Amino acid sequence: MSCPAPRYITPILILLLAVGGHATAAAPASGTDAAIDEGRALLRELIEIDTTPGHGSTTRAAEAMAAHFRSAGFPAQDVEVVGSAARKGNLLVRLRGRGERAPILLMAHLDVVAALREDWNVDPFKLTERDGYFYGRGTLDVKGGAAGLVGALLRLHRDGIKPRGDYILALTAGEEDGVDNGIEWLLQHRPDAMRVAYALNVDGGGPEIRHGKAAVLSVETAEKVYLSYSVTARHPGGHSSLPGAGNPVYRLAAGLHRLADLQFPLRSNPTTRAYFGALADLHDGQLAEDMRAVARNEENPEALSRLAASSLYNNAQLRTTCVPTLLSGGHAENALPQQARATINCRLLPDEPFDEVDQRLRSALADPELELRRIAEPTPSPAGRRDEQLFTRIEAVAAEIWGPIPARAYMSAGATDAVYLRALGTPVYVFSGIAYDVDDDRSHGQDERILVASYDQSLEFLYRLLKSL
Ligand SMILES: [Zn+2]
């Protein structure tokens, strides 16, 4: 595949290029060479430990990272692997500070979505460097961020830096499938470690690369609500040599075919309006005008439609979405199916009434014999607020790495473990520091990747940011 080199050149990158690469040259800033080597090694280690829900183990990954903290000299009581199940361990590390501020929680999940070798062009469980990218399951979601946090804390410790207050690192299990979720477990069993001023979560956010350069550092302060349904068609079945009416596979397929046309209404909320208002300055022409119209909350359905049609990302910002993701049915090759079932995964705008989604799905399926059920009750996800002091600090550190780019609050179309903390009133700010192209987001998909240069920059960014908070 063709992978163009990033067209954005940063002060650090210029320096690296000027001296011929980090491995052979004098360090551009104290500790940077070693930090990049260490950060890449940590990423490789995490990628190459299978942490998928099926046969993986987050405990192995947590123990591997714990070993680095222990050998760096962190006290034994400050490095723990804890959790509810043998393969679902969570790492909890405390870097002690000067006690001048409340602790800050640093969070990332260790588990990754399943990946089939035959679907990928590279081995998903090996870190492969190719054409300026690191490929591997979890590079973007979210072992890149987890490795960056580990690297930053190790470096702070090594440099003898005592932050103003404690950092508590939680690398956790069960984010992707919701089973044995580590943050839920820690909130229940280790509330002491979860009493924090706020949390920084690397499971999303920016910087975002637009028009080839890191243009905006998006910080997620709100996210859509996750809600999955099952749709089931049933029939008494029988011998496959005697087919008749009511085959549940046909029935389900017809319902899903109708569902394909379901589009939820387009609308904005305060977070997305502020976001598009800021983003408009980076675009021109009709797109910029449409963003401004949406930001002003104008009665302008054409602007909303054009903006939604301009990218999948913008579409997901402006409406609730539902899509079939799993399909199963039948019990034998030579029997009429007795059951066919689909899973429909919905992502709701934070203020979307749950009952309304039920109703829209029912009327789109348009078959009273198709059973529609919520698989689990959704956790409401109230939108958070922008913390001016923190955003100013983020912008100042970002400017050292990428030049002046604005930090903007945004709503994620996905869901993260932030939901558990926000539900309890703890603010969570989600950003990774790994600059990525929003139109090349391969998290959960095949050939997941991050730019090597972006990853290296994120190591420096996280280190400097944590040093300064
Ligand atoms: Zn994730």
Q: Tens of pLDDT along 50-87?
A: 999 989 999 999 999 999 999 999 999 999 999 988 99
Where is average pLDDT lowest: 16-25, 208-217, 315-324, 335-344? 16-25
- Going from the Cα of 63 to the center of ligand 1, the distance in angstroms, rounded, reads 20
DSSP state of 388: H
Backbone angles phi, psi at 417, to 5 degrees: -65, -5
- Going from the Cα of 281 to the center of ligand 1, the distance in angstroms, rounded, reads 29
- Going from the Cα of 416 to the center of ligand 1, the distance in angstroms, rounded, reads 6
21 token code pair: 């690469």
> No. of H helices and E strands in the chain?
14, 19
- Going from the Cα of 260 to the center of ligand 1, the distance in angstroms, rounded, reads 27
Q: Which amino acid is at 460?
A: E
pLDDT in tens, 284-331: 999 999 999 999 998 899 999 999 999 998 999 999 999 999 999 999
pLDDT confidence of residue 1: 33
- Going from the Cα of 173 to the center of ligand 1, the distance in angstroms, rounded, reads 11
- pTM comes to 0.79
pLDDT confidence of residue 211: 82
- Going from the Cα of 9 to the center of ligand 1, the distance in angstroms, rounded, reads 28
The DSSP annotation for 239-298 comes to: ETTS--TT-HHHHHHHHHHHHTT--PPP---HHHHHHHHHHGGG--HHHHHHHHHHHTT-
Q: How far is CA 323 from its chain centroid?
A: 19
| CA dist., res. 82 & res. 100, Å (int) | 28
pLDDT in tens, 108-154: 999 999 999 999 999 999 999 999 999 999 999 999 999 999 999 99
Other Cβ atoms less than 10 A from the Cβ of 391: the count is: 18
415 token code pair: 């869901």
Kindly tell me if the per-residue pLDDT of 4 is higher than 50. Answer: no
pLDDT in tens, 226-281: 999 999 999 999 999 999 999 999 999 999 999 999 999 999 998 999 889 988 98
What are the chain's domains? 11-223+381-468 (3.40.630.10), 225-374 (3.30.70.360)
Please answer whether residues 469 and 163 qualify as being in contact, where contact means their C-beta atoms are separated by less than 8 angstroms: yes
- Going from the Cα of 106 to the center of ligand 1, the distance in angstroms, rounded, reads 14
- Going from the Cα of 33 to the center of ligand 1, the distance in angstroms, rounded, reads 28
What mean pLDDT is reported for the chain? 91
- Going from the Cα of 201 to the center of ligand 1, the distance in angstroms, rounded, reads 10
The DSSP annotation for 140-207 comes to: IIIIHHHHHHHHHHHHHHHTT---SS-EEEEEES-TTT-TT-HHHHHHHH-TTTT--SEEEE-SS--P
- Going from the Cα of 224 to the center of ligand 1, the distance in angstroms, rounded, reads 14
pLDDT in tens, 374-419: 999 998 888 888 899 999 999 999 999 999 999 999 998 888 999 9
Confidence band of 201 (pLDDT split at 50, 70, 90): very high
pLDDT confidence of residue 31: 60
Where is average pLDDT lowest: 21-30, 199-208, 319-328, 457-466? 21-30
